[in-house]
Structure 1
Amino acid sequence: MTSAAIQEDAGTTYFVNEHSIVRTIWGKADTVLFIFAGSAAEFALNKAVDWLYFTGKLPADPLGRLFSTVSYARAIVFAKNNDALKAIDKITGIHSAVENARGAQIPDWAYRDVLFMLIDYSIRSFEILERKLTQQEKEEVFAVFYRIGDRMGLKGLPPTFNVWLTMRVQHLDQNLVNGHYTKDLFKQYRKHLGALRYFILIEVQKMIVPERVKTLLRFGNLQIIYPVLAMYKFSRHLKMDWFLKSILLPGQYKQQVKELDYTK
């Protein structure tokens, strides 16, 4: 194959194989919303969350900021290879600009934490809403986000899924703290969601986050989420799930969430 043909093939193939379980996970608004919920909890605890406060965007619009992070990841999953690489490079450029403005560097472990969250909550969300993943499928999820981190030039990435499992536990133990940013961010969640939606968010978070996160956030027992989840799963068969989503989501995010369902 000529170099021109190789370049053309790289531009027309997808970053993630069209039959990959990763596309199945990230192609449904349901699973993406659960990924969002888990990430929202863990973001608030991360010791590097002050970087997200530096620009002022996170406290001003915490839901939009988190949606942006999740949406970027989702766009990469469904992009052609060259487009995905450009999107990853754009993310790297945005972070570099923030670092230059602050005159400091975002720690490598903080970058890894975000990747680790996306891997973990991709798996957890799908298993709660659909079925258990096989070992091979879990390794596929890991491989996709490893490639994203590798493209970003991140140091210290785990080489395999099993090594990631160990590092994930270490990161949870070392890099999370319930501090004043945590309390402020949850206040912002409540402010932007309203009391009922905030209650549902917390219930979903109790279901999906690791034990370390539950402990730090002092989460109590689950209350109503399992019956609600069962009703929601049933509503999908009746094509009524969007009625429930319209109740549970703030109006300004409904269209964004609708677009998360991959229909191509």
Structure 2
Amino acid sequence: MSTEYFVHKNSIVRKIWGKSDTIIFIFAGASAEFALNKAVDWLYFTGKLPKDPLGRLFSTVAYAKLIVFAERESAIKAISSMAAIHSQVETNRQAKIPDWAYRDVLFMLIVYSIKSFEVLERKLTIEEKREVFDVFNRVGLLMGLKGLPSNYEEWQSMRQEHLSQNMKYSYYTDDLFRQYRKHLGLVRYRILLEVQRTVIPVEVKEMLRIKNTMFVSNMGLSLYKLAKALNIDSILKAMVLPANYKEKVKALDNPPG
């Protein structure tokens, strides 16, 4: 009897989440947009986000990767565990995380999965984009999220609503970027900003006051692709990643299953 996986083995989603390069770009885009989310104060409630912003966002990305490569039953258990953790935070704070806030995080996984792969590899077909949507929408349904879109086209519309309604520049935005700089150091922080510039939408750039000049970003991206073609990208990553994250990033290139 063949093993049933949450995401089938030939899925484009496995290709996207099977490489540390793409996952780093997903992380970079989400870290920028998440700083603008109106519900970001929820992660400040536990104190974990300001204390270790990279680790907190990295754990979210790692959780998503685990689900993508897990057997169906294991993935469902992981999703249930994730829902229970959020439920406990709500109990401790005696308030409920808004439904739109849950959806926004899910939408970030969809949009930055697509955008990161397209920046680093190639354009996705509409069928592949729908497949990315379907995988993460199933995660949302299993978490019991309300108001999810029924298809990719509806998601596109809801995504635009999010960009116009659910973001604001706040104290938390400033603080998170200060923490990014503190934990990365100046050089790595500048690299993060350039990576963010390649994947975040215009709305996010405008709110973060990031100039829409792509010369430096495109030059860096071209150099990285050259390093990858020459098979020396691992040396480059070792130079730019904080020491305590090198092993975690390296492990992302070794998907289970």
Query: What residue in structure 2 maps to residue 36 of structure 1?
Result: 27
Query: What residue in structure 1 maps to residue 150 of structure 2?
Result: 159
Query: What residue in structure 2 maps to residue 133 of structure 1?
Result: 124
* Paired residue type of 2:115: R
Number of residue pairs aligned between Structure 1 and Structure 2: 255
From 182, 187, 211, give the equivalent of 1:196.
187
The CA deviation string for residues 138-191 of structure 1, in whole angstroms up to 9 with x for no partner, is 000000001000000100000000000000000111000000000000000000
The CA deviation string for residues 76-135 of structure 1, in whole angstroms up to 9 with x for no partner, is 000000000000000000000100000000000000000000000000000000000000
Larger Rg: 1
From 203, 214, 221, give the equivalent of 1:222.
214
The CA deviation string for residues 48-100 of structure 1, in whole angstroms up to 9 with x for no partner, is 00000000000000000000000000100000000000000000000001000
Q: Is the 8 A contact 1:47 1:176 kept in 2?
A: yes
Query: What residue in structure 1 maps to residue 133 of structure 2?
Result: 142
Q: Is the 8 A contact 1:203 1:223 kept in 2?
A: no
From 48, 68, 75, give the equivalent of 1:84.
75
Gaps of 5+ in 2: none
Moved over 4 A (4+): none
Matched, 1:235 2:210: no
Query: What residue in structure 2 maps to residue 3 of structure 1?
Result: none
Q: Is the 8 A contact 2:137 2:148 kept in 1?
A: yes
For residues 36 and 84 of structure 1, the distance between their equivalents in structure 2, rounded to whole angstroms, comes to 21
Alignment of 1:46-61 (within 5 A): 46-61=37-52
Alignment of 1:63-74 (within 5 A): 63-74=54-65
Gaps of 5+ in 1: 1-7
Q: Is the 8 A contact 1:193 1:250 kept in 2?
A: yes
Q: Is the 8 A contact 2:197 2:217 kept in 1?
A: no
Query: What residue in structure 2 maps to residue 249 of structure 1?
Result: 241
Could you tell me how far 1:225 is from its partner in structure 2? Answer: 2.1
Q: TM-score, normalised by structure 2?
A: 0.97
Could you tell me how far 1:223 is from its partner in structure 2? Answer: 4.9
Alignment of 1:148-187 (within 5 A): 148-187=139-178
Give the secondary-structure state (helix, strand or coil) at the position aligned to 1:15: coil
Query: What residue in structure 1 maps to residue 108 of structure 2?
Result: 117
